């Protein structure tokens, strides 16, 4: 068996499979609004890595290098732990799954951190289409981890890969502390995310009088505009944030009641048009800004 010759003969085909597979995963995560830390990374195992793995007998190749489950791989790094299970469900629904993914739980004296490893391939009916007809038997390893898990995995791999048995116990304990700290980071980030979502839910559902006690931000701004326009205001989240930021920056309006007081019952709603309503709001704000500037000059 000539490993180098086989590697050279399949590399292009596996690169094509990796590229197509990665695109599908990216589209599915985007569709389900899964927040990732950075772009999904993909890689093909190098020939040197394959030769080393085989010679060290960590994996013995019997007939072909395609026996390696991690010959090609993807890595998905998530911002929050809650999405790990969701991502697994999405991928196992979309693709054929060859394993039952579990979160690895390593003992405190081992160098590692929990992550999920899936072994996936394309579904049988995909093989009937031109883009996938050559990829029916290929498998790909997909790692799913949080950003904190990624920091741990990459750091420990760089420092101690294949040298764990030579690390002093005191250093091992320090690494265990760091692993625990990173786990706390994950937990705290999830807690903060949950708290933020609860806050925005409160802003969306609270009585209007309660909104007027809040600082001005994109969510309280939306409530004020909706209330005073009687539902005419219908901007998307992106434009809403831009307008909210503009009002804070250009007009120095920092609390909800101040904005409400300026525009309450000041605008004719007969046009029933969101853009016209917004123009009239800014006309009022411009007049108020001019008035304040004139007062400052007099002083």
* pLDDT tens digits along 222-244: 999 999 999 999 999 999 999 99
Residue 153 has pLDDT above 70, yes or no: yes
Residue of 183, 1, 7 lying closest to 81 (CA atoms) = 183
55 pLDDT tier (thresholds 50, 70, 90)? confident
Residue 34 has pLDDT above 80, yes or no: yes
- C-alpha 168/C-alpha 279 separation (Å) is 69
Q: In the prediction, which pLDDT does 299 show? A: 61
End-to-end CA distance of the chain: 91
Of all residues in the chain, the percent with pLDDT exceeding 90 is 66
- Residue 188: CB atoms within 10 A of its CB come to 11
Query: Domain-by-domain residue ranges, the chain?
Result: 3-187, 208-298
Q: In the prediction, which pLDDT does 156 show? A: 73
Which carries the bigger pLDDT value, residue 261 or residue 200?
261
- C-alpha 278/C-alpha 255 separation (Å) is 18
Residue 29 has pLDDT above 90, yes or no: yes
Residue 264 has pLDDT above 90, yes or no: yes
Of all residues in the chain, the percent with pLDDT exceeding 70 is 90
Which carries the bigger pLDDT value, residue 114 or residue 286?
286
DSSP letters along 230-287, please?
A: TT-----HHHHHHHHHHHHHHH---BHHHHHHHHTT-S--TT--HHHHHHHHHHHHHH
Domain 3-187, CATH number (from 3.90.1150.10, 3.20.20.540, 3.40.50.11440, 3.30.460.10)? 3.30.460.10
Mean pLDDT on 122-145: 91
Over residues 167-205, the pLDDT tens digits come to 666 666 777 777 788 888 889 999 999 999 999 899 989
Mean pLDDT on 68-94: 94
| Averaged pLDDT of the chain | 88
Residue of 191, 252, 248 lying closest to 218 (CA atoms) = 248
Q: In the prediction, which pLDDT does 109 show? A: 42
Q: In the prediction, which pLDDT does 143 show? A: 93
Highest mean pLDDT (candidates 86-95, 152-161, 169-178, 196-205) = 86-95
């Amino acid at each position: 068996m000539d490993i180098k010759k086989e590697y050279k003969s399949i590399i292009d085909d596996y690169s094509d499979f990796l590229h197509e597979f990665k695109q599908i995963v990216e589209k599915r995560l985007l569709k389900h609004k899964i927040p990732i830390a950075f772009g999904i990374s993909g890689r093909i195992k190098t020939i040197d890595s394959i030769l080393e793995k085989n010679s060290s007998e960590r994996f013995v190749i019997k007939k072909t290098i395609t026996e390696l489950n991690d010959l090609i791989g993807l890595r998905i790094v998530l911002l929050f732990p809650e999405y790990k299970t969701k991502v697994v469900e999405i991928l196992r629904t979309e693709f054929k799954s060859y394993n039952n993914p579990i979160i690895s739980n390593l003992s405190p004296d081992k160098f590692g951190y929990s992550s999920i490893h899936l072994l996936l391939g394309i579904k049988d009916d995909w093989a009937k289409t031109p883009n996938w007809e050559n990829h029916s038997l290929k498998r790909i390893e997909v790692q799913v981890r949080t950003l904190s898990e990624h920091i741990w995995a990459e750091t420990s791999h760089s420092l101690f890969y294949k040298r764990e048995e030579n690390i002093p116990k005191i250093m091992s304990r320090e690494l265990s502390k760091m692993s625990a700290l990173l786990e706390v980071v994950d937990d705290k980030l999830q807690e903060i995310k949950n708290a933020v979502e609860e806050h925005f839910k409160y802003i969306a559902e609270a009585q209007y009088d309660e909104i007027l006690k809040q600082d001005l931000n994109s969510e309280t701004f939306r409530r004020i505009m909706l209330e005073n326009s009687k539902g005419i205001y219908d901007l998307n989240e992106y434009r809403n944030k831009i307008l909210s930021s503009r009002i804070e920056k250009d007009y120095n309006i920092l609390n909800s009641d101040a904005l409400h007081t300026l525009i309450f019952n000041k605008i004719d709603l007969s046009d029933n048009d969101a853009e016209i309503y917004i123009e009239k709001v800014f006309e009022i704000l411009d007049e108020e800004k001019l008035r304040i500037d004139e007062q400052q000059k007099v002083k």
